[in-house]
């Protein structure tokens, strides 16, 4: 009997020493407004969730319908998860409060910064990927006028604008960019009709290549480009398949890879708080070139894109984070 009790006690001690992956580790991923199948930013994160599950990790998902859903969803996730990953800069305030309330829980926020010991802040260098898009747009434009359609007027979207405009200037100094923002709230990322109407305006201004950094609203931009026989550039996910023959390329933001990395690190007790910056050097962004658009990217253009990417990754070409001019907001606002 004594031997049996001793064996049982040793078994319990061994179980307690096992890593989190064997102790019902649980992660939670909270998407941005717009749904996880938005064919853009959220969907990239969703692919990371699928990869984590394929690695036998448990991941719960939360999809807010409005901004008001963020705080209660964070609270619910913190009650059951070991790591909570919030996708999108709009989570900053709600996540800050949740992290203070639950200091033993790890939180990761993508696209914003929360300075707390139990928070990891991930920020992509969007301007670097957008620079490559600017090179592709300028070299592919017949009118030497290209358009930029941003979603919510924010620091993140302005980084896209800044990089795109600098890439255009770098490739074709005489080319012009017509920029517009769709709005001042997160709803601007989920309004394809607004994207369509603004794209039509830019096309009327002479733009024949349009880059949309607007989440699901970009779908309207691509449709307008297709109708006008113009070209479009997608964002966040590889969107080249959506309008074959119209999509010149896409600036892929590898959010899914980051989600997988964060969740696996937490499961292995290797998660660390603090800042994590991800750019071309870290493999966090790229231009999508594949079977849907390879015929639209000439070998000469591919060489210019690759050269720019190499210089940016090496630090010999520095990309601006803020645009030189403020893009007007659709409807006449500034």
Sign of the Cα torsion 306, 310, 313, 315 reads negative
What is the structure's pLDDT at 183? 96
274's enclosing H/E stretch is strand 274-278
User: How far does CA 233 lie from the centroid of its chain?
Assistant: 15
Q: Distance of alpha carbon 106 from its chain centroid, rounded?
A: 21
Alpha carbon 31 to its chain centroid, in Å, reads 11
pLDDT at 23: 58
Q: Which of 56, 60, 61 is nearest to 20 (CA)?
A: 56
Q: What is the distance of C-alpha 24 from the center of its chain?
A: 29
Considering the domain delimited by 23-125+256-278, tell me its CATH architecture: 3-Layer(aba) Sandwich (3.40)
Q: In the chain, which residues have pLDDT < 70?
A: 1-23, 332-334
Tell me yes or no: is domain 126-253+284-314 CATH 3.40.1180.10. no
pLDDT of residue 33: 87
Domain chopping of the chain, boundaries: 23-125+256-278, 126-253+284-314
pLDDT for residue 331: 73
Q: Specify the pLDDT at position 204.
A: 98
pTM score of the predicted model: 0.85
Q: Could you give the C-alpha distances from 237 to 54, 212, 251, 286, in angstroms and in order?
A: 20, 12, 7, 10
Q: Which tokens belong to 252?
A: 């892929």
């Amino acid at each position: 009997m004594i031997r049996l009790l001793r064996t049982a006690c040793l078994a319990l001690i061994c179980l307690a020493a096992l890593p989190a992956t064997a102790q019902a580790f649980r992660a939670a991923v909270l998407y941005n407004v717009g749904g996880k199948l938005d064919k853009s930013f959220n969907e990239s994160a969703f692919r990371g969730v699928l990869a984590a599950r394929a690695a036998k990790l448990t991941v719960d998902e939360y999809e807010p319908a409005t901004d008001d859903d963020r705080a209660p969803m964070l609270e619910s996730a913190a009650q059951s998860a070991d790591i909570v990953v919030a996708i999108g800069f709009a989570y900053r305030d709600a996540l800050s409060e949740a992290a203070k309330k639950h200091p033993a829980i790890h939180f990761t926020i993508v696209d914003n910064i929360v300075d707390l010991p139990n928070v990891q802040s991930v920020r992509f260098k969007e301007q670097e990927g957008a620079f490559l898009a600017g090179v592709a747009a300028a070299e592919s434009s017949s009118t030497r006028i290209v358009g930029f359609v941003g979603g919510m007027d924010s620091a993140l979207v302005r980084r896209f604008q800044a990089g795109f405009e600098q890439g255009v200037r770098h490739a074709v100094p005489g080319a012009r960019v017509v920029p517009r923002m769709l709005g001042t709230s997160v709803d601007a990322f989920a309004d394809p009709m607004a994207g369509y109407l603004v794209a039509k305006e830019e096309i009327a201004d002479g733009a024949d290549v349009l880059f949309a950094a607007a989440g699901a609203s970009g779908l309207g931009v691509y449709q307008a480009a297709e109708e006008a026989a113009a070209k479009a550039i997608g964002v966040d996910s590889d969107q080249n398949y959506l309008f074959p023959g119209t999509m010149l390329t896409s600036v892929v933001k590898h959010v899914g890879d980051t989600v997988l990395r964060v969740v696996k690190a937490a499961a292995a007790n290797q998660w660390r708080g603090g800042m994590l910056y991800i750019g071309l050097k870290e493999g966090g962004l790229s231009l999508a070139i594949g079977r849907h658009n390879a015929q639209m990217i000439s070998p000469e253009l591919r060489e210019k894109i690759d050269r720019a990417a190499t210089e940016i990754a090496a630090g010999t070409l520095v990309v601006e984070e803020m645009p030189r001019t403020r893009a007007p907001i659709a409807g006449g606002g500034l």
